[in-house]
Chain A
C-alpha cells in the first residue's frame, strides 16, 4: 500500500511543484533559479519569524510569562494552517483535475485519499518549519531550556499540523458540500469563506496592542485556547514541563483525529467529487433576447466572470481590498488618539498608516495569475480577431475594477487621519498610480512565468512562481515608500517622491508590455 501511496504522491507532488515552479516547458534552465528562490523565501521568512519570536519572547520574558511563547506560536500556526487549508481543500482533496485518471487506476480509495492528504501535510509542514524552528531557537536563547525541550518540540512539530488540517478539511468540505448543492456554488463559497476570514481576522485583531496587552491577551488567548483546544495545553506541558504523557497524548490524539477523518473521507470522497466535478445541469434553456456589446466589453466581461468564478481567486486577490475597505470604514469611527495610545504614536501613525494603503493595494493583483488561468483555453483568445493589447487591457481593467475602491478608501483614510487637502490628494494619486503599477507588474511577471498546464487552480492562484514573485517583489516596492518616509522625514516630500517613482514605473511597465509583452504573446 505504502509503495502505491508514495508513487501517487510523487506524481502529484511533481505536478504541484511543476505548477508552482513552472517546470512545464523549460525543465532545464529555470527550476534551479526557482528552487533557489523558494529556498530564499523560506530563509527570509524564517529570519522574519525568528525576529518576531525574539521580540514577543522578550516582552513575555519581561512579564515572567515566557512559557506562553510555544503555545502562542502554536496558536498562530494553527490559525495559519486553518486559514490556508480551508481554501485548498477544494482543488486538492475534492474537485482536482486529474480525478478521473487517478480514480481509474488500480489503487484503492484509501491510497488516493492518503496521497492527497499527505500533499496538504507537506505544504503545511513548510509553515511549521518557518514558525516553530525559529520559535525553538528564540525560546532557547531566552529561556535556556534543557535538551528535552528541543527533543519534545521537534517530535511534537511533526504531528502539529494534523489536527488543524483535519479541522480545516472538515470546514472546507462542509463549505464545498453546502455550496455544491446550489447553482451559484462559487458565490456561496466566497460568502462562506469571507465570513470565516472576518471571524479569524476579528479574533487575531485582539492580538494587536501594546506590550502589556500582548502579555494579557497572549495569556488570555492561550488559556482560552487551552480550554477550547486542549492540544495546545498538552503541547505546552510536553515541551515546557517535559511531560512525556502529555507528549504521547498529543501525538495519539493528533494521529487518531487524522485517521478518523481519513475514514470519514472514504465515505464521502466519491460522492463529493462527483457532485463537484459534474456541476449542476438543468437542461431547460429557451432562447430569449440576446444582448450584444463591443469586442472589448465582451473580453472584459469574460475576464470579470473568470475572476468571480473562482472563490479561491477572489479570496486570494481580493482580501487586500476587503481589509482596506473595512479598515477605512473603521477609521471613521475610531479615535486615532485612543488607537495609538499617546499623541506621539498618533503622529507616527498619521505618517505611516498610508503605507498600509499601498500594502493592501499590492495584495490586490488578479493580473498576476490572469495569463496562466487561460490554461488550456488559451487557443480561444489567440484565435480570435483581437489584438494582444485588447487582451491585456481586459485583464488590467479587471484588476483596476477590483482595486478601484482603494482610491475611495485612501480619500477616507486621508480625511480620517486629518491630513490636509494636498496630502489627501497626494495619497489618492499615489494609490491610483500604485493600482496601475501592481496590475501592469503582475501581468508582466505572469508573461515571464506563464503556466498553462496546471492541474489545480490552487497552485496557479496561490503558489505559482508568477504570483509569488509579484507579491514578494511588490512588497519591496511598498518598502521603498517606507524608506522615503524615513529618509525625507515628512509626508509631503516622501509621498511626492514616491508618486514620481511610481509614475515612472507605470510608464516603464507600459513600454515593457507593448514591446516584450507583444513578443511574448506571439510565443505563448
Chain B
C-alpha cells in the first residue's frame, strides 16, 4: 500500500532531515514509526502525505506516485498531524461535512460513519459547537473522525495518542485494529513504546534521518523489550 523509496528531504541548512529512507507498509499492516525528537518522523510523514515537497526519492501509494499523481494518492489516504489545528470558524459537523464533500462520501455512509465514530469518541453532543470552543483532545478526536469517514486505504497518523483520554486512546486502538482487519494499512509515529509494541506488527526506528532498524515487531525487538532496543539504538553513535 505504501512504499517509501530513497526519500531524502533537506531544509535550508545542509543537514538532511531525512536521508535515503526506504520502507514498505503492506495491506493490513499496523506500522509503528519510532524515533526521538527531531529524528525525522514528522518530516517523513508530511512528505508521505503530500504536505511537504521533497527533493529526492519517491513515495508510492497503492501503485501511484505522490509526486506524479498527488490527488489520486490523497484520495486513498487520511492524515492526522501531531497538532490538529482545524478550521476554528467551522462547527464540528460542518468540518466533517466539508471533509465528506471533498472525498465525495455519500450521504448515507457519511451519516452512518459520523454517528458511529462520534458516538465511539463521545463527541456527538459537541458536533454543533464551534471548533474554537473545543479542547485539544476534542480537536484530536474530530480530526480522527474526519480521517475515518471516507474509509481510507492508508491511514497516516503523527503521534495520534497525544492529548487523548485513556478511553479515547483505547477506542482508537480498537478502530486501528478493525481497519487493518478490513485490509487498510496504518503508518503512525509514536513515542509510546508500549503501544507500538502491543499494537504494531511492523516497526521502524529512525535516527538522524536514517532508518536504524526496520522489520516485524519480533525481528526488531528480538528477546528484549522495545524500550531496551530503542534506547540501545539511539545511544549508539
In the bound complex, do residue B87 and residue A302 qualify as a contact, i.e. CB atoms below 8 Å apart? yes
In the bound complex, do residue B83 and residue A383 qualify as a contact, i.e. CB atoms below 8 Å apart? no
Report how far A310 CA is from B88 CA in the complex, Å: 11
Q: How many residues of A contact B (CB 8 A)?
A: 38
Q: Which residue of B lies closest to A183 (CB)?
A: B130
* Cβ-closest 9 pairs across A and B: A309-B89, A285-B128, A298-B101, A376-B85, A279-B133, A385-B74, A385-B75, A281-B133, A285-B127
| Residue from A291, A305, A384 having most chain B Cβ neighbours under 10 A | A384
Min Cβ gap A478→B in Å is: 32
In the bound complex, do residue A290 and residue B81 qualify as a contact, i.e. CB atoms below 8 Å apart? no
In the bound complex, do residue A386 and residue B81 qualify as a contact, i.e. CB atoms below 8 Å apart? no
- Indicate whether A375 sits within 8 Å of B127 (C-beta atoms), given known contacts A383-B74, A383-B79: no
Report how far A19 CA is from B73 CA in the complex, Å: 34
Q: Of B16-24, B28-36, B49-57, B185-193, which stretch is located at the interface? A: B49-57
Whether B126 sits at the interface, judged by CB under 8 Å, is yes
Which residues of B have CB within 8 Å of A375?
85
Which residues of A have CB within 8 Å of B198?
none
In the bound complex, do residue A306 and residue B87 qualify as a contact, i.e. CB atoms below 8 Å apart? yes
In the bound complex, do residue A287 and residue B133 qualify as a contact, i.e. CB atoms below 8 Å apart? no
Which residues of B have CB within 8 Å of A292?
97, 100-101, 105-107, 110
In the bound complex, do residue B89 and residue A383 qualify as a contact, i.e. CB atoms below 8 Å apart? no
Which residues of B have CB within 8 Å of A2?
none
In the bound complex, do residue A284 and residue B128 qualify as a contact, i.e. CB atoms below 8 Å apart? yes
Which residues of B have CB within 8 Å of A385?
70-75, 102-103
28 A-B pairs with CB atoms under 8 Å apart are A279-B133, A281-B126, A284-B125, A285-B93, A285-B124, A285-B127, A287-B114, A287-B124, A290-B97, A292-B105, A293-B101, A294-B101, A298-B97, A301-B98, A302-B87, A302-B98, A305-B89, A306-B87, A376-B85, A379-B51, A379-B81, A380-B86, A383-B49, A385-B72, A385-B73, A385-B74, A385-B102, A523-B53
Which residues of B have CB within 8 Å of A279?
129-130, 132-133
Contact residues of B: prevailing secondary structure: helix
Min Cβ gap B108→A in Å is: 9
Instruction: Please report which residues of chain A, range 356-385, place their CB below 8 angstroms from some CB of chain B when the two chains form the complex.
Output: 375-377, 379-380, 382-385
Min Cβ gap A286→B in Å is: 8
List the interface of chain B (C-beta within 8 A of A).
46, 49-51, 53, 70-75, 77, 79, 81, 83, 85-90, 92-94, 97-107, 110-111, 114-115, 118, 124-130, 132-133
| Residue from B49, B98, B103 having most chain A Cβ neighbours under 10 A | B98
Which residues of A have CB within 8 Å of B114?
287, 290
Q: Which residue of B lies closest to A383 (CB)?
A: B79
| Residue from B89, B99, B126 having most chain A Cβ neighbours under 10 A | B89
| Contact pattern, A 96-135, Cβ under 8 Å of B = 1, otherwise 0 | 0000000000000000000000000000000000000000
Report how far A488 CA is from B79 CA in the complex, Å: 58
Report how far A247 CA is from B216 CA in the complex, Å: 81
In the bound complex, do residue A386 and residue B71 qualify as a contact, i.e. CB atoms below 8 Å apart? yes
| Contact pattern, A 126-156, Cβ under 8 Å of B = 1, otherwise 0 | 0000000000000000000000000000000
In the bound complex, do residue A298 and residue B102 qualify as a contact, i.e. CB atoms below 8 Å apart? yes
Whether A283 sits at the interface, judged by CB under 8 Å, is yes
Which residues of A have CB within 8 Å of B99?
384
Q: Identify which of B74, B101, B130 contacts A297 (C-beta below 8 A).
A: B101
Report how far A382 CA is from B79 CA in the complex, Å: 10
Q: Which residue of B lies closest to A295 (CB)?
A: B102
In the bound complex, do residue B107 and residue A283 qualify as a contact, i.e. CB atoms below 8 Å apart? no
In the bound complex, do residue B130 and residue A380 qualify as a contact, i.e. CB atoms below 8 Å apart? no
Instruction: Please report which residues of chain A, range 239-290, place their CB below 8 angstroms from some CB of chain B when the two chains form the complex.
Output: 278-287, 290
Whether A522 sits at the interface, judged by CB under 8 Å, is yes
Report how far A310 CA is from B132 CA in the complex, Å: 13
Which residues of B have CB within 8 Å of A293?
101
In the bound complex, do residue A383 and residue B97 qualify as a contact, i.e. CB atoms below 8 Å apart? no
Which residues of B have CB within 8 Å of A294?
101
- Indicate whether A522 sits within 8 Å of B103 (C-beta atoms), given known contacts A285-B125, A380-B86, A385-B75: no
Which residues of B have CB within 8 Å of A280?
129-130, 133
Q: Which residue of B lies closest to A452 (CB)?
A: B85
- Indicate whether A522 sits within 8 Å of B94 (C-beta atoms), given known contacts A287-B114, A309-B89: no
Which residues of B have CB within 8 Å of A522?
53
In the bound complex, do residue A283 and residue B126 qualify as a contact, i.e. CB atoms below 8 Å apart? yes
Beyond A305-B90, A385-B71, list 4 extra A-B contacts (CB 8 Å): A280-B129, A292-B110, A302-B87, A377-B86
Q: Which residue of B lies closest to A280 (CB)?
A: B133
Q: Identify which of A285, A306, A384 contacts B102 (C-beta below 8 A).
A: A384
Report how far A387 CA is from B93 CA in the complex, Å: 24
Which residues of A have CB within 8 Å of B50?
382-383
Whether A299 sits at the interface, judged by CB under 8 Å, is yes
- Indicate whether A287 sits within 8 Å of B94 (C-beta atoms), given known contacts A376-B83, A380-B86, A384-B102: no
Q: Which residue of B lies closest to A375 (CB)?
A: B85
Report how far A297 CA is from B128 CA in the complex, Å: 21
Report how far A41 CA is from B106 CA in the complex, Å: 53
Which residues of A have CB within 8 Å of B53?
522-523
Report how far A281 CA is from B88 CA in the complex, Å: 13
In the bound complex, do residue B133 and residue A278 qualify as a contact, i.e. CB atoms below 8 Å apart? yes
Min Cβ gap B163→A in Å is: 15
Q: Identify which of A281, A305, A380 contacts B129 (C-beta below 8 A).
A: A281
Min Cβ gap A23→B in Å is: 14
Which residues of A have CB within 8 Å of B51?
379, 382-383
Report how far A285 CA is from B127 CA in the complex, Å: 6
Report how far A280 CA is from B126 CA in the complex, Å: 11
Q: Which residue of A lies closest to B114 (CB)?
A: A287
Min Cβ gap B51→A in Å is: 4
| Residue from B101, B110, B114 having most chain A Cβ neighbours under 10 A | B101
| Contact pattern, A 147-178, Cβ under 8 Å of B = 1, otherwise 0 | 00000000000000000000000000000000
Report how far A287 CA is from B92 CA in the complex, Å: 12
Which residues of A have CB within 8 Å of B97?
290-292, 298
Which residues of A have CB within 8 Å of B103?
385
Min Cβ gap A317→B in Å is: 16
Q: Which residue of B lies closest to A299 (CB)?
A: B102
Which residues of B have CB within 8 Å of A309?
89
In the bound complex, do residue B101 and residue A285 qualify as a contact, i.e. CB atoms below 8 Å apart? no
Q: Which residue of A lies closest to B11 (CB)?
A: A25
Which residues of B have CB within 8 Å of A379?
46, 51, 79, 81, 85
Q: Which residue of A lies closest to B131 (CB)?
A: A279
Report how far A386 CA is from B110 CA in the complex, Å: 19
Which residues of A have CB within 8 Å of B94?
305
Which residues of B have CB within 8 Å of A387?
71
In the bound complex, do residue A285 and residue B126 qualify as a contact, i.e. CB atoms below 8 Å apart? yes
